[in-house]
Structure 1
């Protein structure tokens, strides 16, 4: 299409009237399905043919009216304002023409245009004008003008208008056609005559302004466009043309305001191109939302429609107890969001794998360019950093909190229990220390981390919801496979965000540092064990050394342990230490002698030791020798005697796998004073 026609499509494209606009959609060019199935080479060939045909028709029409072509309106890479056509402007009447003048002008123009139309075509036009209604003539003319026969369309409108000069519909649309055809000095008078009849017609005011703009009279054009917009502030073409007028003056901010008004009614790639040409990026999504509001369409919550709301991030635990209590729930939630992420990623992959070359060669959708522009705009706002929510400073702060609390936990050391504390009481002391000193630190850590992370996650959820809602709104205009995959990947990204947020709470394993805090023993049981141990120590003097004999079996008990021993020459035994909880099995030869009230024993025994949890601890050989002064035993009958040692000394030495070589001496009773104090 030659340059003037390109400019008119970009900058003028005048509205004929609502009725005419609806009719222009019926064209004889290949339908959408045909275009969609064309290869890029076929599309390029089709475009060149359309340009050539349009240029030929425009040239022929210009020759018929003896009007020179204005080919200087465009220069490569730049849109310039139309040059002022002084000759054509002088032909315009100073006053709107009368009805008689209109009729005379129409007849003259009709006779002039007939000269370039074949006789059969003229006969066809006369037939239609004589048989069709005004509305039918109007509709057919507009359809022909924008498709295959602009000269015939103008001829039909001239013929019909000459017969019905009072039809403002025909005169308005004929004037618009003449403007587009480059004979504005013929079209403007018709439109001014109509404006006298309907002074407040925004359509007429816009069409007159378009005529003056094409003739290069920018002041006059702006006057009519401003009148039009004062009546209809959302007039598409008037807003576009006012934007162009300010663009020519390099007043880009003002131009952009008019273009945004235009785009709030209709999104057109040519207007979008003008915005980018000026270095402006309109808020396309905001404009689209305002269009929806004006149309009364409610804003859809696509996020909720695909049931994303049920995966809302749960409240994080604010204490160590809450972590232990609800850990199963959090594990199930984490597994479910990971499964959803995988599912949506698979959907996107399936689309990508199924994409074919044939689909790639198809003609893109009607709104592809607009959708791509809006998607670019969307990605500029919802960057990966913005959607991630957690900034580097946030991560540094989390690390600082965790480090401080972990250091505090490691610095807290349990004081050793009192000497001689039994094993059950030792564990009770450990439990009490964990619950009273360690757990408050862990609770504070969980609370601080939860209070810091939870608001960040909620903010991130809001961002992802807005992003996905707007993304789906945009993609609905062009649901191509690539755009569908984009949505699926975005939803997968939301679940990835939830998964990362769950892992970002670093207190999940804090309870692993507090095993004693979660012993099944209650606080009352712990206090009772400690109190009982204290009472035991008070009631167990260090000189206690009781012994009971039943035949060859003897049972000994003191404040440190109890022991069971049986046999004469081959002695077996079992010992249990109250303080350490260790248990020992012994077996080996032994001898015993009594003289002058003294009892002496010598034994060499193999031993096997178990710790307080009944796990193997050591194995070896123990040598022991003891001398004691016996108290008078009490005979209980049946061979059972109960008594003890007034004083005794026992020396032992042992060698074992884990303990190596050890030796020890222990005194009880009055002999205790003989050994040095440790």
Structure 2
């Protein structure tokens, strides 16, 4: 009947909540502060309604777990405490007192029920009666259970176990003053019994004598530090005094033995959290249960990150290894994602009732999520990314800025390639290797740390979900495994060194060093030119034509001499007119001239005019008659001239060596 009423209670509470819930649009317009205030208001309202309905329908609901329910310490019951004898009773006194209590209980029970208990007691042995009394007590038939146990203790007063259990029943039905004498007697017989000490502590706790209760509970924990009830009650005593850290120590001991929602609620009220996973590990260790390595069971260790490449060449050499690993990782991501999708798609439809450990699993998963946040599982954040980008950018810039020496002009294509390869291998590749090494030193420890964290997360996640393997919890595990492979996939991006080999296009990985300094070279500054000693003179009988590598000239007349000169390089032409004289003696000839000159540029435009004085001495070569014309030259000679511009006022002097003299003094 109570279970039916509880369902009705929850339904009515839900309807009531729906009636008080504000319009969603209004909630969306609330500020964060307004939403928080509304949340507190709704919790208070619905907590009060839950308490009220629990009392109205007489429901066995532990309202202390509800939020905003203030738990107060039991009030000290002076009257009932006064009924407890100062000294522990004797065996006879206990039996007499119990007989009187039996008569009092029977008066309050209908005669048929009393007769039924008597017939049952007469038909069973002691062990059967004891077990039946305990079962009836926890099956909401406490009156008959207590009466049966009282008759057993009267008949067998030397059974300390039954006497202790009767006292425990007294405590639970709220007649702690009757339990204390029984427990005092048991304690005389078993002074170090943690069970008796705990029950005495619970008796005085219920009567409000918290000081005496604490004394017995401490003695109990001295004997058995993991006594569940003693730890819970000691935690509550510290909670009443707002000593929350001390309270949590006792609650953690309690939870290390058994999970209790009420104790979880106490931690919530104090703003504390349990490390439920650590407590579960302790429980398993005490039970001899070995911790499984689910990470290894799924063989995820096969997918540990490869060793980071040590150089740019290593990236190329191990490209196949990295590609295969990347393909394997991507295949795993797809597989585990599909597993998660499939288990949810095939989940049972309709009402699905939670498992026995549903609440515990939910609490542990929440706790796990608080510790293993995405930022914790993936320790590569904005700061680490900025550092990696700086390493890549700085390294790339250093490679790009390398100025390679150029091969000498006119060298073969093969030689030019050798220069390019040598520069890339000797100057650029070492910089690339520095980049790869620095990048690996930065990112590899980060991702190795992430692998360790993912392993711990998956191991603990599977251990928790095993307690309640619902479809949603199974999908949670599969998505977590997929997340691990996505993490590995992210790490593999760095195994190319930021594609550093793209900056080494001129390199040849299997390049063999060539000593370019030993290459034999021809003269790079040499230019094709006319030899300075080459000159020619043609005698036309009254006129002469002279030419060398720089110019040609035509002269005519004696005394009054006229001439024309043209320079090959500049294109400048000059007309000359003036006085002069010539003489020859023993093969040597001299010539002196003083002439006006007029110069024209290469476009035949007038350029300048002035006076030019020329003096020449040389040794004539042997004339060769060609068609009646004598062609010869100067075997050796010197020509000195100066010009004075009448337009600009400029003055120039020249000294030109010819023939053998030029060859001797101008060997090039």
**Does structure 1 residue 391 correspond to structure 2 residue 389?**
no
Match of 2:431 in 1: 441
Confirm or deny: 8 A CA contact 1:39 1:363 kept in the other structure. Answer: no
Confirm or deny: 8 A CA contact 1:38 1:362 kept in the other structure. Answer: no
Segment drifting more, 321-330 vs 113-122: 113-122
- Change in Cα spacing, 1:43 to 1:158, as seen in structure 2 (3 Å) is farther
- Change in Cα spacing, 1:223 to 1:40, as seen in structure 2 (3 Å) is closer
Q: Which runs of 5+ in 1 are unaligned?
A: 3-28, 59-70, 544-678
**Does structure 1 residue 84 correspond to structure 2 residue 76?**
yes
Cα deviation, residue 133, structure 1 = 2.4
CA distance in 1, matches of 2:176, 2:58: 18
- Change in Cα spacing, 1:349 to 1:211, as seen in structure 2 (3 Å) is same
Match of 1:286 in 2: 278
Q: RCO greater where, 1 or 2, for CA within 8 Å and sep 6 or more?
A: 1
Confirm or deny: 8 A CA contact 1:107 1:162 kept in the other structure. Answer: yes
Match of 2:444 in 1: 454
Match of 1:127 in 2: 119
Match of 2:512 in 1: 523
Q: 1:197 aligns with which of 189, 192, 201?
A: 189
Confirm or deny: 8 A CA contact 2:391 2:435 kept in the other structure. Answer: yes
Match of 1:248 in 2: 240
Q: Does the residue aligned with 2:318 lie in a helix, a strand or coil?
A: helix
Confirm or deny: 8 A CA contact 2:355 2:468 kept in the other structure. Answer: yes
CA distance in 1, matches of 2:67, 2:319: 70
Q: 2:85 aligns with which of 93, 100, 107?
A: 93
Q: 2:108 aligns with which of 98, 116, 124?
A: 116
CA distance in 2, matches of 1:344, 1:82: 54
Confirm or deny: 8 A CA contact 2:395 2:431 kept in the other structure. Answer: yes
CA distance in 1, matches of 2:370, 2:227: 30
CA distance in 1, matches of 2:266, 2:13: 24
**Does structure 1 residue 262 correspond to structure 2 residue 251?**
no
Match of 1:411 in 2: 401
- Change in Cα spacing, 1:75 to 1:316, as seen in structure 2 (3 Å) is closer
TM-score where L is the length of structure 2: 0.68
Q: 1:105 aligns with which of 75, 89, 97?
A: 97
- Change in Cα spacing, 1:298 to 1:108, as seen in structure 2 (3 Å) is same
- Change in Cα spacing, 1:75 to 1:93, as seen in structure 2 (3 Å) is farther
Confirm or deny: 8 A CA contact 1:371 1:474 kept in the other structure. Answer: yes
Q: How does 1:581-660 map to 2 (within 5 A)?
A: none
Confirm or deny: 8 A CA contact 2:183 2:196 kept in the other structure. Answer: yes
CA distance in 2, matches of 1:347, 1:491: 10
Q: Which runs of 5+ in 2 are unaligned?
A: 16-49, 529-668
Q: C-alpha deviations, 1:613-659, integer Å up to 9, x for none?
A: xxxxxxxxxxxxxxxxxxxxxxxxxxxxxxxxxxxxxxxxxxxxxxx
Q: 2:362 aligns with which of 361, 372, 383?
A: 372
Q: How does 1:95-244 map to 2 (within 5 A)?
A: 95-244=87-236
Cα deviation, residue 271, structure 1 = 0.6
Confirm or deny: 8 A CA contact 1:351 1:481 kept in the other structure. Answer: yes
Confirm or deny: 8 A CA contact 1:84 1:217 kept in the other structure. Answer: yes
Confirm or deny: 8 A CA contact 1:188 1:208 kept in the other structure. Answer: yes
Confirm or deny: 8 A CA contact 2:67 2:269 kept in the other structure. Answer: no
Match of 1:559 in 2: none
Cα deviation, residue 413, structure 1 = 2.5
- Change in Cα spacing, 1:196 to 1:53, as seen in structure 2 (3 Å) is farther
Q: Does the residue aligned with 2:274 lie in a helix, a strand or coil?
A: coil
Q: Does the residue aligned with 2:362 lie in a helix, a strand or coil?
A: helix
Q: Does the residue aligned with 1:78 lie in a helix, a strand or coil?
A: coil
Confirm or deny: 8 A CA contact 1:145 1:154 kept in the other structure. Answer: yes
Q: Which protein has the larger Cα radius of gyration, Structure 1 or Structure 2?
A: 2
Superposed CA RMSD in Å reads 3.5
Q: C-alpha deviations, 1:512-555, integer Å up to 9, x for none?
A: 222332266x415x559x96xx448589x998xxxxxxxxxxxx
Match of 1:353 in 2: 345
Confirm or deny: 8 A CA contact 1:171 1:194 kept in the other structure. Answer: yes
CA distance in 2, matches of 1:39, 1:190: 40
Cα deviation, residue 57, structure 1 = 11
Give the total of aligned pairs: 492
Confirm or deny: 8 A CA contact 1:428 1:527 kept in the other structure. Answer: no
CA distance in 2, matches of 1:124, 1:132: 13
Match of 2:307 in 1: 315
CA distance in 1, matches of 2:400, 2:357: 63
Q: Does the residue aligned with 1:333 lie in a helix, a strand or coil?
A: helix
Cα deviation, residue 80, structure 1 = 0.8
Q: How does 1:316-355 map to 2 (within 5 A)?
A: 316-355=308-347
**Does structure 1 residue 474 correspond to structure 2 residue 464?**
yes
CA distance in 1, matches of 2:218, 2:78: 23
Match of 1:301 in 2: 293
Cα deviation, residue 418, structure 1 = 0.6
CA distance in 2, matches of 1:463, 1:469: 10
Q: Does the residue aligned with 1:511 lie in a helix, a strand or coil?
A: helix
Confirm or deny: 8 A CA contact 2:229 2:254 kept in the other structure. Answer: yes
Q: Does the residue aligned with 2:507 lie in a helix, a strand or coil?
A: helix
CA distance in 2, matches of 1:221, 1:242: 9
- Change in Cα spacing, 1:56 to 1:116, as seen in structure 2 (3 Å) is farther
Q: C-alpha deviations, 1:277-309, integer Å up to 9, x for none?
A: 111112222222222222222222111111010
Cα deviation, residue 55, structure 1 = 4.5
CA distance in 2, matches of 1:53, 1:399: 67
CA distance in 1, matches of 2:176, 2:409: 113
Cα deviation, residue 362, structure 1 = 2.6
CA distance in 1, matches of 2:128, 2:208: 34
Q: Does the residue aligned with 2:108 lie in a helix, a strand or coil?
A: coil
Cα deviation, residue 126, structure 1 = 1.7
Confirm or deny: 8 A CA contact 1:83 1:215 kept in the other structure. Answer: yes
Confirm or deny: 8 A CA contact 1:402 1:506 kept in the other structure. Answer: no
CA distance in 2, matches of 1:505, 1:396: 17
Cα deviation, residue 41, structure 1 = 5.5
Confirm or deny: 8 A CA contact 2:396 2:503 kept in the other structure. Answer: no
Cα deviation, residue 40, structure 1 = 7.9
Cα deviation, residue 116, structure 1 = 3.1
Q: 2:415 aligns with which of 417, 422, 425?
A: 425
CA distance in 1, matches of 2:271, 2:509: 69
CA distance in 2, matches of 1:214, 1:88: 11
Confirm or deny: 8 A CA contact 2:94 2:182 kept in the other structure. Answer: yes
Q: C-alpha deviations, 1:456-510, integer Å up to 9, x for none?
A: 1111111111111111122222222221111111111111111111113451521
Confirm or deny: 8 A CA contact 2:400 2:503 kept in the other structure. Answer: no
Match of 2:269 in 1: 277
Q: C-alpha deviations, 1:102-143, integer Å up to 9, x for none?
A: 111111111111223333332332233223222221111111
